[in-house]
A and B are shown apart, each in its own frame.
Chain A
């Protein structure tokens, strides 16, 4: 094997994570080659809700930093990226959830994040699609939405970035082998190939979590905020069985995305009717106005889940030259900017934009074996 040196950095994967990393590395002056196999990606399947989550410090750090970066980037994004700062409404269906919403609002405010409590009786006025009798909601006005596939393409449109359609079949530190048999090398290789990361690094603790989505026809102004439920917080962290949560997101076209489901131990990309139905029924239980709307398309995708729900960002402890940016679960569109900035900072030994430890691959892969 005689590898050809093709770039300063090779990035494997042109999803939102690979694209954000490539863009940041190019901004740092690197010549980047992005290799993508054109597989079914999470970026194409996902919902593009940009949201702050505060279940733990690591999640808050990475989402808050990223949202700030998306707001900075927003004005530059072309129209077809459909970036909007439309805000999130976290619905509380009972007293417990209302208490949880209030606790969350106190925590968020303490962290400097704008939010407000909306009383139950004002909810329908704000979003007429909702049922009455909801106990209230927490509103985060600075959350947003994004059409991630076009944003990824836009990020890759850069004079320092070259793209190549190929499948990587083997990795060895800073060398990669393509399906053509050819070996390529660079100073560093960034692995950002989502759920398929385990094909190349079986030691990574990443499991597929299937999710269904449906998009409706266009309707005049049906919904303003991205509407989600507080019990979503509990369903996200279920580690087995199938679950559904209400997630309704307006598109700038007047369409609605309706999600979402979570399922483990399957890699079957088919839409499963029974689960799609359960998901829609659940969403309609919050928003009865959905019942008469036409769903025009449904699909399923896979989130790359790690055991603690946090991504792996940093150098592979056992493979010098190989850098990981994988395992973003259901939040990778949101957290792409922080991932890219953190990865670049680690690569160039610069100050970390957010504390890196919570995302360090070493938490699962052990400490570096090289000096």
Chain B
């Protein structure tokens, strides 16, 4: 059984939702799919404790109500199925979707870097902590340390405080000067995330990095370093994130060129592969406002309405300046490449220490001899870390892009015949 879309959109975060609505309003038949049970992407995750802004709720409701939009939840792209067709799978079945245009809105994920103790229970990513809390995990009266880099630390701290946790420290690696310059520019881009951006939080420290998570079989505290000063704090939770890295794998598998580790697009949000567009954070980190406007542009262009797309260029430019400032001021300090000790696990799925991976010349060889990246997460975490730590270029994924039932893969036989 196969399905056809004028415009197929992968990812139902801010970029994908706004692309779907724009394309559908232009008359296109849209199919929108996402691997999560609910739409909203990284920022508008529904869950027991989620608090979704009304604009997001409105966007989501409009997408749900639109007769031209077919949305598939909990559905993943697993392989290319000939030209202009993808094989997808959900928990019940696998099928092929053919398309005229494709928009990649696959977003970004958090960069997690290994440091001693990072695999202790109680240690998560900064966005990861936020997602857990929104999903219903109680944190009342817990002492939490948040470390790493970027505004996501503040968003995460905000969520934690809001749910009764005590955020004892927010350790930002970027130096005070950079953070202050960034903060001074903020009035130019008033928006929700940044309201929580307060340098006056008593626990906020710039130029501070994580040295180790302490504890035997669960987290008991953290060691932080600021200049020559080392501080140890007791806590129940540590959330550590070093910014976001674009999810480019699907784009790579389709042959899209990358630039700056993101999918490269032109002013029409078009990649260098005919008929394939990209929008949102898979094209580079920029926040949800940029993702929204890029999604609308891509949706209009994919549906053939270039005039509508062009009218949005000005708004996009405004948020691009914000993104530029963010990326500039929160650039990672190269010393973060040396947080791990030789025996710190880099790949926690297959228990591979940092030193074993570091001994190799590239990711392929490291994988072969250490099995790093071959476990449950298929290198989502350690592949990204290795890419940052050793400057190894990301490798295009082979089908199946994610674990896939064999009965689904068997459908490639007829699906791909057109190509063969």
Point out residues on A near B: beta carbons under 8 Å: 38, 44, 149-150, 153, 165, 214, 216-217, 258, 270-274, 276-278, 280-281, 284, 290-299
Contact = CB atoms under 8 A, between A and B. Distances in A.
Contacts of B416: 272-274, 277
Contact of A281 (B361, B374, B413, B417): B413
Interface in B398-412: 398-400, 403-407, 409-412
A294 B405 contact: yes
4 A-B pairs closest in CB distance: A277-B413, A277-B412, A273-B412, A274-B416
User: Secondary structure at chain B's binding surface: helix, strand, loop or mixed?
Assistant: mixed
Nearest to A300: B398
Contacts of B82: 273
B368 interface: yes
Contact of B415 (A273, A290, A295, A296): A273
Q: Which of A149, A276, A299 has the most CB of B within 10 A?
A: A276
A298 B398 contact: yes
Nearest to A270: B398
B412 A276 contact: yes
A300 to B, nearest CB: 8
Given A273-B412, A277-B416, A281-B410, A292 B369 contact: no
B176 to A, nearest CB: 44
Contact of B405 (A270, A271, A277, A292): A292
Contact of A294 (B81, B374, B403, B417): B403
B420 interface: yes
A280 B361 contact: no
Given A294-B404, A296-B403, A297-B378, A271 B398 contact: yes
Contact of B409 (A149, A270, A280): A280
Nearest to B82: A273
Interface in B377-407: 378, 398-400, 403-407
Interface of B: 79-82, 87, 361, 365, 368-369, 374, 378, 398-400, 403-407, 409-413, 415-417, 419-420
B400 A298 contact: yes
B403 A38 contact: no
A147 to B, nearest CB: 10
Given A294-B405, A296-B400, 12 more contacts: A149-B368, A214-B409, A258-B406, A272-B416, A272-B420, A273-B80, A277-B411, A291-B407, A293-B405, A295-B403, A295-B405, A297-B400
Contacts of A38: 361, 365
Given A291-B406, A293-B406, A274 B417 contact: yes
Contacts of A291: 405-407, 410
Contacts of B405: 291-295
B95 to A, nearest CB: 14
A216 B408 CA distance: 13
Nearest to A294: B403
Contacts of B412: 273-274, 276-277
A361 to B, nearest CB: 30
Nearest to A293: B406
23 contacts: A216-B406, A258-B406, A273-B80, A273-B87, A273-B416, A274-B412, A274-B419, A274-B420, A276-B412, A280-B410, A281-B410, A290-B406, A293-B405, A293-B406, A294-B403, A295-B404, A295-B405, A295-B409, A296-B400, A296-B403, A297-B374, A297-B378, A298-B399
B406 to A, nearest CB: 5
B410 A277 contact: yes
A129 to B, nearest CB: 12
Contacts of A299: 398
B79 to A, nearest CB: 6
A216 B413 CA distance: 19
B81 A273 contact: yes
A66 to B, nearest CB: 23
Contacts of B361: 38, 165
Nearest to B419: A274
